[in-house]
Structure formats: C-alpha cells, structure tokens
Structure 1
Amino acid sequence: MEHILFLLTIFLGLAFSGRCINGYSRNDFPKGFVFGSATSAFQWEGAVDEDGRAPSIWDTFVHSGSGPNGDIACDGYHKYKEDVRLMYDMGLDAFRLSISWARLIPSGRGQVNPKGLRFYKNLINELIRHGIEPHVTLYHNDLPQALEDEYGGWIDRKIIDDFTAFANVCFREFGNSVKFWSTINEPNMLAPGGYDAGIIPPSHCSPPFGTFNCSRGNSSTEPYIVLHNMLLAHASTAKLYNQKYKDKQNGSIGITCYAFWMVPLTSSKEDEIATQRAKDFYIGWVLHPLVFGDYPDVMKKIVGKRLPNFSEEESNLVKDSFDFLGVIHYTTLNIKHFSNSLQGDYNADINAALINVGNSTLFTIDVLPWGLEGVLEYIKQNYGNPPIYILENGQPTYHHSSLNDMGRVEYLHAYIGSVLKSVRNGSDTRGYFQWSFVDLFEFVNVNYTYGLYYVNFSDPERKRSPKTSALWYSAFLKGTTKEPNKNLLVVSSSSPSLSSQ
C-alpha cells in the first residue's frame, strides 16, 4: 500500500482555487526558513509507568473518567527511532517535541530519573544524527501530579522556582544539542481551560462557572494568577538561560501564544470594540507583558483587583524575556459583543461571544488562511515584529477516514502560502511546524486527529501509515511539487478506508 501511495507524489502538481499564493515552492521562502512538524510528550510517548516516570496532571485527568487514556498513546517512547527515520525520509528540517517533567524529575523537584534522562538524550541525539533540528518545549501542560498535590501547582508562586530548576536540568543536560527552547505551551489556553472552565487538567473551577463540577478552584481569580505565575516562571527561566548557558550553547529561548484570528461579526461599533477587547484578553494577555512589561489597560480596567500586579522588578524581568515568539494558530472566529449575566470570571470579563466562521467547528476547520496572515500582521504592527515560529498549525480529520486526506493537503498548502505572503509583507516569521507528525492521543476527542501519518491505535504495534498529506508535505519539502491536485488523486484499492483497521 505504501508504495502505491508514494506514487501519488508524481501527480501533485496543479492548483486548488486561489485561496492563497498559488504556484509557490519551498525555494520561495528565505534562506534558513525552517519547516518541521510537532508532537507533545503526553500525546506521543505513552509508557506512562515505565522506567521511573511518575503521574502527571494529564494522567490523573484522563483516568478520572471511563474514556480512553494516554497510557500507550503512539508508543513513541519505544518507537522513536522509527519515527525519526520517517521524519528524515520526509525531509523535515526540524521536529518540535516536549519534555515530560514527570519522566525527567518524577517528584517535580530534586532527583533526576536516569532512565528518563537517557531517553531524551537518545531521542535528541537520534534527531541530530539524522540532520533534524530539535525544538524543545519544556512544559506542554503535563505538570507532575506531586506538585499539584503538594501546593496546587501553578496557583502557587513556589512553582516559579521548581520550574526554573527543572529547566536548569534540561539546559545542562541537553543544551549542547538543543538550540531552540520554548518554555511554556500556550499559557493563554491552559489558564482559562484548566482554572476557569475546568475542561483540561487540573480541572479547577467554581460555581456558577465551569463546564463540569470541579472539586476545587476559583474561576474568578485562578486563571489570572496561573498565567501571571507562568509568565514569571518563563522570565525566571529565560534569565537563567541568558546568564548561565546562552554564551556557551548559542541557543535561543521563547514562549508560545495561542492565537485565534478574530474579526467582528458585524460592522457595528460594539462588535468592533468587542473584537479588540478579545484580542487584548487572548493575545495581549501574554504579549503585552512580554513586550511592554504590563497587562493591557482594558484588562486592568475590567478585571481590577483580581488581576495580579507586576512589581517593578517583575515587570523588568518579564519585559523582553524572549528571543522568539511561538505562535499557535488553527482557525478564525467572529466576535460579537455580549454582556454575560454571569460576571466575574475570565470568559465573562471578555464580554464577547466567540462564533465559528463558515462551517468550522471544534473538529472541522474551514480553510481560512487569511486568518493566519491577520495574526502575523497584528503582531508585527502592535508588538514590534518579533522573530516568530509557527509552532502549531494543522487540521483535524476523522481518525478512521481515508488515508487520502486531501482536505488536510488543501489546508496545509493554503496556510503555508499565507506564511509566505506574510513574510513578503515584512513579518519576521522564521519557521513553520505542522501539527502533528503522527496521529496522537487527542484528549478533546480521540476520534479526530491531525497526523500526517495514520496510527492504528487498535494495533499493539501502533503501525504508522502515510497519508496523502505526508506525501504532499514531503514533496513540498524536497522541492518536487508546488500545489496539490485533487483531480489527479489515485486511490489504491487496498486503502479506501480505515474503518476496519
């Protein structure tokens, strides 16, 4: 089957309709522009109780119900060599991975787990040996459960020192090979999702807010406290890296920001104001302190005393504490002014309804590449045009559908084209990472995955099979195709559907 699918690359040569730059190739990007793909430790590795790894808040969260869990996931812990070989064959420049804090330092602080240390050294060395640049995220929302149990994790300032100590181990042990570090993944999603709505770990919330009946938390204050502590932990870590490691290791450090693009639902003044307010609450919540040393004025006005203050020392520590910004973008939303009857949590403070554009849902995302252009232009105009890496961008599809994922091919082609257009318009964007390299354990809905490679989760061997998107991306990276052509797609009779696999 794989050999027949690879023949498809011959036919990937003509265009979809003009949703983005047509006819571009990899050679149109600036020299040194990086193309990669990405996973996260919890969603990829599995082996949750092997070789000294301790539980994380994700393990606790998924085991609190009767649904699927990440105990095996993609079995990347055992299959990393196979996956790196696939990356090499595809032609990736770089691979974004994360370090499981609970695998490296199981108790959250103190003793390093030698087997966890060996795994990450082996993985990083395997990437380097194949000419693939590792981009490492230190924290992808998998806090050791021990720290959550001890003092509440991110709601306590103790986390700043513990996170910095964890980062120090990573810099010391891996820094000679790793040149790109992201400290914390999308804090502006983790804080409201985990501490207001309670829909992701550690599932804190309080009545009348929250999607579920959380056992603890305060939706009015904790989201703001958590993101504040994440910014301080990031800044502390960046200071450590710059003072102790940067000159010797010649690396760079950044943080990621989840960035919807947002446009007014109507031309009304109320919707226009609400859209800017939403941008400040989502994007400005992270970027304003990093660039200007404080939160946006509208947040300070609305949230009031519930929003933590930066001391002068903290403001100076956070400001300019990054070499690059990681942008995570999937889709665009319409914004409508909305006065929530429930006042006092993050979602109500925004006073805006977030509405999907077109036919998009949480699991079916329309191709709207102009939204990514909007995000990059907004950051360029409002935050000093920092160096940017698009660290996540991709489209979910039903996991058991055909390997011929031409919708994902169209999405990737359009969004990569929008990045090229943004670069030509002056954005200092330096890399693009597709999410995700293989089908991962997707906790929001395990039936919708983002992978270039299909993973059969019913197979104990977790066999990988290339989708059409893997073939197109590989051809693009190798300069053998410019655009996809759904009309010339040939389907192997041995792979029309995955529903029986």
Structure 2
Amino acid sequence: MLQPSAFLSLLFLLAAAARGGDYSRADFPADFVFGSGTSAYQYEGAAFEDGRTPSIWDTYAHSGHSGGATGDVACDGYHKYKEDIRLMLDMHLEAFRLSISWSRLIPNGRGPINPKGLEYYNNLIDELISHGIQPHVTLHHMDLPQALDDEYGGWLSRKIVKDFVVYADTCFREFGDRVLYWTTINEANIFSVGGYDEGASPPGHCSLPVQNNCSKGNSSIEPYIVGHNILLAHSAAVKLYKKKYKSTQNGFVGFNIYSFWFVPYTNSTEDVIATQRAKDFYIGWLVDPLIYGDYPRSVKKNVGKRLPAFTEYESKQIKGSIDFIGVNHYTTLYIKDNPSNLQIDNRDFDTDIAIEIKFKQGNELPDQYPIRPWGLYGLLEYLKQAYGDIPVYVHENGQLARRNGTLYDKSRVEYMHTYIGSMLDAIKNGSNTRGYFHWTFLDCFELLGGYGLSFGLYYVDLDDKYLTRYPKLSAHWYSNFLKGKSTSSNAITEVGDSTFVRQTG
C-alpha cells in the first residue's frame, strides 16, 4: 500500500499529467505499437455459417439482453475483413487486436477443427500481415462454446482447464508462426464478476439477494471459482507455450483485465485505505497471483473461505506465467469507505470490497465518459509500482457515445488526444507501456448497449445492406497522428463541422 507521502506525490504527478499539448508519433519509442481492435462476436457476424456453433454470448444475446440486439450479423467482418483491412492500411494502423471465436474454430469446444473456421482466421491473419499490420490475438473474449457450458458448467468446472489448453494449443500451432502477441482471456475480472455475480454479461448468472433476474447462479461464490479456474487455465496454456512453441515462435503470452482508476472521495485515512482495497480487488485479485503466486491479503481477508486456495504446485505454476499485462481502461471512479457492507451475511464481490462509489461534478456529458486522462496515468504508474517493469499494453481505451449518425465525434478526439498524451507522460516517467489500442475500429455490437452505443473510429450504416463504413473525425485525427503530424489542440477541429455530419436515412 502507498504511504501517505507517496500518495500525495502521486496526486501531484497525476495533476500534472492531464496532458493536452502537442506531441507526435515520433515522441513514442520506436518499438511502441498503435492500433485498434474488436472481438469476434462483436465484429464477425456469420453466426450460423460454415460450421460455427453458438457461444455463451450468442445464448445471452438471444435471451433478450443488450436491448434485444445480437451479433448474428454484427459488422459482417467474416465477409468484409479485406475491405476493413484496406481502411486500416489507409489509416496507417500499425496493429489490430482481434479475438478468435472458439466455437468457430472448434465447434464442439473440443474435437475436430472446423476447416472453414481455420481458413477464415488464416486468411484474416495473412491479410493483416501482408499489409504490414501486426495481429494481436485474444483466445477468449466472453464467448466460451455453449456446448462446454451445457456439458459441465464451463468456467465453473476445472474440466475447463484441459479443454482451454487444447484450444490454445490449436491456435498456437496453426497461427503462431505469424502471431507473436497472444492474450489468453479478455477482461478476466469483469467476465468473472459480470457473468457469474451480476448477471450483466455472458453467461448471465446471479442470485438473490444480489440480483433477482437470473435463472441460475450463486453470486457469493461463483465469481471467485471462475477467476480461480481462469488463472489455472491461463498458466497451463502459458506452460504449454513455453515448452512447445516459445523456442521456435518467439511469441509472448499475456493476460487482460478491465481496470478503472480509483481515487479517494476524501483525504480521510478510511477512504485512502478503501481506495487501495478497490485496487486489490479489481487489479490485484487476478494479477497478484500471476506476479507473486497468491491473492492479495485484503481479498483473502474479506472473502474468506469462499475464495479458493492454490496448492503449492498451482502457485508455482501461476507465478510468473505472464509476459505482459493488458489493461482496458476508460474512466476513473471516486471511492468512499463503506464498512457496513461487511456486515451483510450473503456477500458478493461488490460488497466484499466494502466501498461506495461516488460521483463528482466534472466535464461529464450525457452518455459519455468523463474525460479524466490523469486516470490512465495513475493506472500505469500504479502498475509500475506494484508489479515492476513488466510490459503493459493498453488494450482498450476510447470514448462512449450514443449512435446517432454523426461523424463529427469531437468528444472522442478530445478523449484520445488527452489520454494518449497522458500515456506518453507515464512512459516518460518510466512506465514500460508497449502499445495502445483504441476501442473500437468500427461501431459494432456492444455488450451493454447493442447497436445503440458507439465506440468506433468508423460509423457503420446498419440501414445499408452493404453495411458501408464511413470515417469519423476521430479516424482522421488518429490517421494524422499515425502519419506523424502534430496533435495540437487546434488540429482537433481543423476540419469543418459540416464535413462530418451525416444522419441516417
């Protein structure tokens, strides 16, 4: 835990890090990589084509979540990937973060490879590489094959470890000659909590008294079981990669979490300690074992016997089983201590933290994230202090907006401009951050908002049978930055508003 003097020093650094001035691509290290990304279910579509079977995300979406929207068609990336890669090339995108649909590649979760699925991912990876775009591949992005969930409960069972390792082995073997950067699990913490505590993401488990809109689940224990099995599966896959592929493929295998940045609501000792506890639960819960071999002390104390324990063998296998940390960061939260939560008999992840999230007035806009770039600086600085010199990739960062047809997304440009600048400050202060991926490349299907929310650099016209893509102001800004132009604040709006207004018909 940071001492008060260190904490005040950090706040001073954070205050100085809300960068809005000039910088360029040349200010970043030569081997730093800039990209964008998406995931299989959100982008590919073709949900029932060429042998693909449902994932838990298909089932979740078809159960009426996400406003009734589904990824059945999405952006039709299964058919339009070549067109999209041409757009990436025009933008000078250096890397693209994608995920593989397990149920497209191995339809039953285990057993024979689907030739059409294998062909698609080979073609997609080859197309990226042929245009000089580096593929960064995630193996699991909330889309476990439904067949495995039906058979034994998916991530709730230790049987998942063997099946995940076989799946990972397949991907390493088939694509590892061209893919150097692998992430095993996307947002492992949010997948565990959202899917098995809050019911807010696939597979939609929750229970009373936490929630009352789920048909199954146990919010008090399931997220911790899933998180534990994820760590076991990840470390087993990394062990296999190091033994079987590392010497010839020379790749890297990392682990991804979602992380807010957290600051105390007041300067009271209680709120400062509670803020560290929030970091322990959101970050340390799943990252500490990968670095130190065990869960944080505060997590073990508050969760108690509901938290699975590692055997000595498991702890040794998990410790050090990570080449980089991937973080998805969007905004900052204010934390107030709430010890009364610990008096609740049937607690879940949220009440175990014993905090209250508070909101302060700022530059919030309706349906958008408040622009607090110092939060990304703080997160990267914290990762450096807590975990040493391990490489970090900002796998997701971007501005939320309502999907309203406009291409003039000035707030997104302002967001990118300040967050990338703040990341540069962190790098100059010693952060070993190696890459930045804007979320997302295209407006695609979103977990919580279906097609009503927008994160994309490109607008996709859903009323057009061709799903035509249109660049937004943010696409032009990012492209100019990647081409080496200055990012002065004047450059944000140098193109007239009328050029970037297009309403759907």
Regarding TM over 0.5, the answer is yes
Q: Deviations over 1:307-359 (max 9, x none)?
A: 00010110011111011111111000000112236442111101111234535
Q: CA deviation at 1:487?
A: 5.1
Counterpart CA distance in 2 for 1:354 and 1:404 is 32
1:290 matches 2:293: no
Pairwise CA distance, 1:398: 1.4
Tell me the CA shift for residue 18 of structure 1.
9.1
Q: 1:28-48 CA distances to partner (integer Å, 9 max, x unpaired)?
A: 011111000000000000000
Q: Which AA in structure 1 matches 2:501?
A: P
Q: Secondary structure at the match of 1:123?
A: helix
Query: Is the contact between residue 22 and residue 486 of structure 2 (CA under 8 Å) also seen in structure 1?
Result: no
Aligned to 1:241: 241
1:484 Cα offset (Å): 4.1
Letter in 2 for 1:301: K
8 Å CA contact 1:400, 1:497 repeated in 2: no
Paired residue secondary structure (1:492): helix
Partner of 2:448: 444
Residue 414 of structure 2 aligns with which residue?
Answer: 410
The amino acid of 1:492's aligned partner reads S
Question: What CA distance in whole angstroms lies between the structure 2 residues aligned with 1:378 and 1:325?
Answer: 13
Say if 2:36 and 2:438, in contact at 8 Å, map to a contact too: yes
Q: Can you list the C-alpha shifts for 1:209-264, whole angstroms capped at 9, x where unaligned? A: 12x42111111110000000001110000001010001111111101111110001
Residues 1:360 and 1:148: Cα distance change in structure 2 (over 3 Å): farther
Summarize deviations over 1:254-296 as a string: whole Å, max 9, x none.
0111111000111122211111111101110111101110000
Deviations 1:438-480 (A, max 9, x none): 1010121131110000011222211100000000000000012
- The CA deviation string for residues 171-203 of structure 1, in whole angstroms up to 9 with x for no partner, is 000000000000000111111111111111111
2: CA distance between counterparts of 1:487 and 1:190? 37
* Structure 2 CA distance for aligned equivalents of residues 361 and 187 of structure 1: 29
2:34 match: secondary structure:
strand
Asked whether the 8 Å contact 2:34–2:437 carries over to 1, the reply is yes
Do structure 1's residue 472 and structure 2's residue 477 form an aligned pair?
Answer: yes
Q: Please tell me whether the aligned partners of residues 21 and 421 of structure 1 are also in contact (alpha carbons under 8 angstroms).
A: no
Corresponding residue number in structure 2 for 1:72: 73
Q: TM-score, normalised by structure 2?
A: 0.93
**Structure 2 counterparts to residues 177-256 of structure 1, below 5 A:** 177-210=178-211, 212-256=212-256
The code of the aligned residue for 1:299 comes to V
**Structure 1 length-normalised TM:** 0.94
Distance 1:100 1:390 in 2: 22
Pick the aligned partner of 2:393 from 370, 389, 395: 389
Query: Which has the larger displacement, 91-100 or 333-342?
Result: 333-342
Q: Report whether the alignment pairs 1:42 with 2:46.
A: no
- Residue pair 1:332, 1:356 contacting (<8 A) in 2 also: no
> Which aligned pairs between 1:64-213 and structure 2 lie closer than 5 A?
64-65=63-64, 67-210=68-211, 212-213=212-213
> Using the alignment, how far apart are the partners of 2:348 and 2:494 within structure 1?
51
Measure, in 2, the Cα distance between the counterparts of 1:412 and 1:266.
Answer: 28
1:60 paired residue number? 59
Judging changes above 3 Å, is the alpha-carbon distance between structure 1 residues 282 and 157 closer, same or farther for their aligned structure 2 residues? Answer: same
CA contact (8 A) 2:45 2:74 kept: yes
Using the alignment, how far apart are the partners of 1:35 and 1:289 within structure 2? 29
Q: CA deviation at 1:27?
A: 0.2
Mapped pair 1:380 → 2:379 = no
Report the CA distance between 1:401 and its aligned residue.
4.3
Q: Distance in 1 between matches of 2:210 and 2:463?
A: 37
Q: Secondary structure at the match of 1:488?
A: coil
Q: Which residue of 2 aligns with 1:324?
A: 324
Q: What amino acid is aligned across from residue 61 of structure 2 in structure 1?
A: V
Amino acid at match of 2:379: V
Structure-2 separation of matches of 1:298 and 1:472 = 43
Aligned-residue CA RMSD (Å): 1.6
Tell me the alpha carbon deviations over residues 104-131 of structure 1, each in whole angstroms, 9 at most, x when there is no partner: 0010011110000000000000000000
Give the residue type in structure 1 aligned to 2:136: H
Q: How many residues align?
A: 482
Q: CA deviation at 1:497?
A: 3.7
State the match for 1:354 in structure 2.
Answer: 357
* Cα distance change on mapping 1:53 and 1:356 into 2, 3 Å: farther
> Which amino acid in 2 is paired with 1:382?
A
Tell me the amino acid that sits aligned with residue 199 of structure 1. Answer: A
Q: Partners in 2 of 1:185 and 1:31 — Cα distance?
A: 27
SS at match of 1:372: helix
Identity across matched positions, percent: 58
- Separation (CA, whole Å) in 1 of partners of 2:471 and 2:330: 22
In 2, are the aligned partners of 1:261 and 1:371 still within 8 Å (CA)? Answer: yes
Query: Hey, what does 1:3 align to over in structure 2?
Result: none
Contact 1:95 1:134 in 2 (8 A): yes
